[in-house]
């Protein structure tokens, strides 16, 4: 099984005619994802990559049965595109756009309240269920079907851990890039809940970093719920200087808060297996699975 996406996903792409939209939509189709429509205001009625192009999300849903949207709209208009999808009732929206203005994503979060939409992103690598569906910009070269669920704030580290889990025969049930922005849609806890209910996911890997409070929220959830599946965490940035943004807006520690050491300690106290560095993640996963089976 998988979470969020699978072979029944019918994807539309907002911003399909742009350079990035064209390239990654073509990759998704080649991978086997069922892409049914594109959205591009002003080009409704055209065809692109052999797909029908619609003016509005509601039109695409009505005509094609689309149940997921991938947003490639430029940053200045991405917030409006996400809100359009939310208001249309799209079950899943994945936004890969970087540098969406914070006030815009705050408005998106307001639109999400009380809706039936799950938002992944913005600034997300996307979602990949190996052999079933790709919604995003991640490489599929090293991905293999398996039993490890991965939730990550870091695109580059995701690629590394996917390669490791595949090379050791563990594979992935689904990989979710929640995005690196300080304000975004679904987080660690939302994804962990889905993985805990997935019968074919046996263990979870969280890839965290400095900044924000996703890791602390994950630790609180694990302490209160005490889930039956083992969780491994890699938190990077232990040597990052304080009060300095590292890499992107979400990786920022201020006044000693949200540093890697504090996040690691919170997760460890919640019963999470800690990978000391990126090369030891699969070792920690195997240890967790062995102890669970004992």
The sign of the dihedral angle between the CA atoms of 72, 73, 74, 76 is negative
Q: Let me know how long the chain is.
A: 294
Catalytic member of 134, 184, 248, 263: 248
Residue 67, SS3 per DSSP: coil
Do 166 and 144 touch, CB atoms closer than 8 A?
Answer: yes
Question: How far apart are alpha carbons 121 and 2 in whole angstroms?
Answer: 19
Do 230 and 290 touch, CB atoms closer than 8 A?
Answer: no
- Among this protein's residues, is 248 annotated catalytic? yes
Question: How far apart are alpha carbons 162 and 144 in whole angstroms?
Answer: 8
Helix (H) or strand (E) holding 119: strand 118-120
Catalytic residues: 248
């Amino acid at each position: 099984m998988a979470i969020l996406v699978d072979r029944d996903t019918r994807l539309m792409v907002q911003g399909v005619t742009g350079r990035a939209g064209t390239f990654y939509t073509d990759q998704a189709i080649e991978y086997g994802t069922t892409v049914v429509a594109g959205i591009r205001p002003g080009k409704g009625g055209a065809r692109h990559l052999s797909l029908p192009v619609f003016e509005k999300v509601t039109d695409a849903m009505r005509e094609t049965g689309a149940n997921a949207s991938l947003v490639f709209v430029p940053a200045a208009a991405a917030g409006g595109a996400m809100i359009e999808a939310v208001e249309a009732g799209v079950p899943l929206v994945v936004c890969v756009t970087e540098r969406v203005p914070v006030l815009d994503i705050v408005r998106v979060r307001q639109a999400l309240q009380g809706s039936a939409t799950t938002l992944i992103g913005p600034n997300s690598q996307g979602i990949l269920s190996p052999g079933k569906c790709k919604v995003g910009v991640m490489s599929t070269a090293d991905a293999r079907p398996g039993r490890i669920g991965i939730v990550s704030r870091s695109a580059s580290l995701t690629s590394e851990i996917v390669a490791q889990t595949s090379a050791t025969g563990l594979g992935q049930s689904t990989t979710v890039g929640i995005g690196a922005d300080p304000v975004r849609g679904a987080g660690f806890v939302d994804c962990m809940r889905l993985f805990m209910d997935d019968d074919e996911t046996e263990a979870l890997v969280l890839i965290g970093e400095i900044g924000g409070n996703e890791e602390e929220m994950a630790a609180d959830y694990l302490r209160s719920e005490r889930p039956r599946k083992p969780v491994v965490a890699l938190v990077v940035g232990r040597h990052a200087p304080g009060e300095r943004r590292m890499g992107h807006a979400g990786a920022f520690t201020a006044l000693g808060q949200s540093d890697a050491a504090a996040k690691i300690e919170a997760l460890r106290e919640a019963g999470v297996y800690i990978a000391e560095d990126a090369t030891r993640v699969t070792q920690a996963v195997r240890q967790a699975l062995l102890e669970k089976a004992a």
